[in-house]
């Protein structure tokens, strides 16, 4: 669609669609850049949240260097668009080695994560072009319980050594997702948890140091912990949050941001009235919003902007049903065609449902972004 076809304002967009507020995005990105710089830490933004060149340009302040991606599709997309120093932030698996070889040969810096000696064997068995070495980072689990070598296990030295000892491999350091911060509530808890997480990361760093293995890169991240960083996070070299780009209702509930920071909404219209259920039927179904957060937050998973007494209580493929928390609903206040703006629970999930983002500054639509997709 050419710019000539842009809707004029947020009130004119086709529905359902994804609205992203460029001014809030810029503010969120600048704030995170400032936070990292003030702590003397390199920000390596995670671009899985938006998966767009335009977004990554803002998040990297135009450098097009130092990003994290969640899929090889993202890595290839950003590499094809002039990005470099890309970290593939997912434990390497054998089937992905050939595509990683191409990226490692193509880019000046392409980093991979690994979390086992077995994975390192696949890497060292895969040759790169002359003069090229694999740049590898050990994935650490500081208690989140996902991928990664447990921080307090002796395996950290053994598995790091597997890379250090490999000929065509350069061991760069360690990385840990600070996923437990999603269970925090409020700034104080976030800082306490961030401090504990950092202690664990630096414990691994020191343990490797004692074994003669230097960590040039010591990274952690998560939007909650990086939005309100603990003082000791200055001991790290890299942060890699992603969701702060848009923020979302989950981050508001955690206390990482306020609703005013949230740059992503789904625009939907009332398409039917259901007096028998006191419900507005809208054209925002799960294809536009996702079910994410229903299990965690019940009917509060989604916020209907400007209507604190309304809740999205049910989703079908293309329908979303909205009803009052208490009292009746006056349908005259919400005639057919009324636009409603929904703040989803998790912005990465909802953004991944949309082929295009409608970008606005104030009320004016200023562009359209098309994210990449797939694996």
Residues that bind a second copy (CB under 8 A): 14-17, 48, 70-71, 90-91, 93-95, 115-116, 118-119, 141, 145-148, 150, 179, 269, 271-274, 276-277, 279, 281, 283, 286-288, 290-292, 294-295, 316-319, 321, 336-337, 348-349, 352-356, 373-375
Which lies closer to a second copy via its Cβ, residue 325 or residue 356? 356
Which lies closer to a second copy via its Cβ, residue 49 or residue 227? 49
CB of 149 to a second copy, least distance (A): 9
Which lies closer to a second copy via its Cβ, residue 148 or residue 241? 148
CB of 36 to a second copy, least distance (A): 22
CB of 277 to a second copy, least distance (A): 5
Which lies closer to a second copy via its Cβ, residue 179 or residue 191? 179
CB of 290 to a second copy, least distance (A): 7
3-state secondary structure the chain: CCHHHCCCECCCCCCCEEEEEHHHHHHHHHHHHHHHHHHCCEECCEHHHCCCHHHHHHHCCCCCEEEEECCHHHHHHHHHCCCEEEEEEEECCHHHHHHHHHHHHHCCCEEEEECCHHHHHHHHCCCCCCCCCEEEEEEEECCCCCCCEECCCCHHHHHHHHHHCCCCEEEEEEEEECHHHHHCCCHHHHHHHHHHHHHHHHHHHHHHHHCCCCCCEEEEECHHHHHCCCHHHHHCCEECCCHHHCCCHHHHHHCCCCHHHCCEEEEEEEEEEEHHHCEEEECCCHHHHCCCCHHHHHHHCCEECCCCCEEEEEECCCCEEEEECCCCCCHHHCCCCCEEEEECCCHHHHHCCCCCEEEEECCEEEEEECCCCCC
CB of 30 to a second copy, least distance (A): 25
Which lies closer to a second copy via its Cβ, residue 26 or residue 278? 278
Which lies closer to a second copy via its Cβ, residue 230 or residue 321? 321
CB of 225 to a second copy, least distance (A): 16
CB of 123 to a second copy, least distance (A): 13
Which lies closer to a second copy via its Cβ, residue 234 or residue 356? 356
């Amino acid at each position: 669609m050419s710019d000539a076809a842009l809707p004029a304002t947020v009130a004119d967009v086709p529905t359902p669609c994804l609205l992203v507020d460029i001014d809030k995005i810029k503010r969120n990105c600048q704030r995170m850049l400032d936070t990292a710089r003030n702590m003397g830490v390199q920000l390596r933004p995670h671009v899985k949240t938006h998966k767009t060149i335009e977004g990554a340009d803002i998040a990297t302040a135009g450098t097009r260097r130092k990003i994290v991606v969640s899929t090889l599709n993202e890595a290839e997309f950003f590499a094809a668009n002039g990005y470099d120093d890309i970290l593939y932030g997912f434990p390497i698996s054998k089937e992905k080695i050939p595509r990683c070889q191409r990226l490692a040969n193509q880019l000046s810096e392409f980093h991979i994560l690994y979390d086992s000696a077995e994975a390192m064997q696949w890497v060292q068995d895969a040759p790169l072009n002359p003069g090229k070495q694999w740049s590898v980072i050990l994935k650490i689990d500081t208690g989140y319980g996902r991928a990664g070598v447990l921080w307090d296990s002796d395996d950290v030295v053994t598995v790091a050594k597997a890379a250090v000892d490999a000929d065509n491999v350069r061991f760069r350091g360690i990385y840990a997702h600070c996923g437990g911060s999603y269970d925090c509530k409020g700034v104080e808890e976030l800082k306490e948890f961030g401090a504990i997480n950092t202690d664990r990361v630096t414990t691994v760093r020191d343990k490797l140091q004692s074994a003669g293995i230097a960590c040039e890169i010591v990274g952690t991240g998560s939007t909650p912990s990086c939005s309100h960083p603990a003082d000791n996070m200055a001991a790290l070299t890299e942060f890699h949050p992603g969701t702060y780009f848009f923020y979302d209702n989950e981050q508001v509930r955690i206390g990482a941001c306020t609703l005013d920071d949230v740059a992503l909404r789904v625009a939907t219209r009332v398409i039917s009235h259901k007096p028998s259920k006191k419900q507005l039927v809208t054209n925002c179904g799960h294809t536009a919003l996702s079910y994410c957060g229903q299990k965690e937050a019940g009917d509060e998973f989604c916020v209907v902007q400007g209507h604190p007494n309304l809740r999205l209580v049910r989703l079908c493929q293309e329908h979303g049903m909205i009803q009052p928390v208490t009292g009746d609903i006056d349908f005259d206040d919400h005639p057919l065609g009324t636009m409603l703006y929904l703040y989803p629970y998790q912005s990465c999930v909802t953004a991944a449902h949309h082929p295009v983002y409608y970008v606005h500054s104030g009320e004016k639509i200023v562009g359209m972004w098309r994210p990449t997709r797939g694996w």
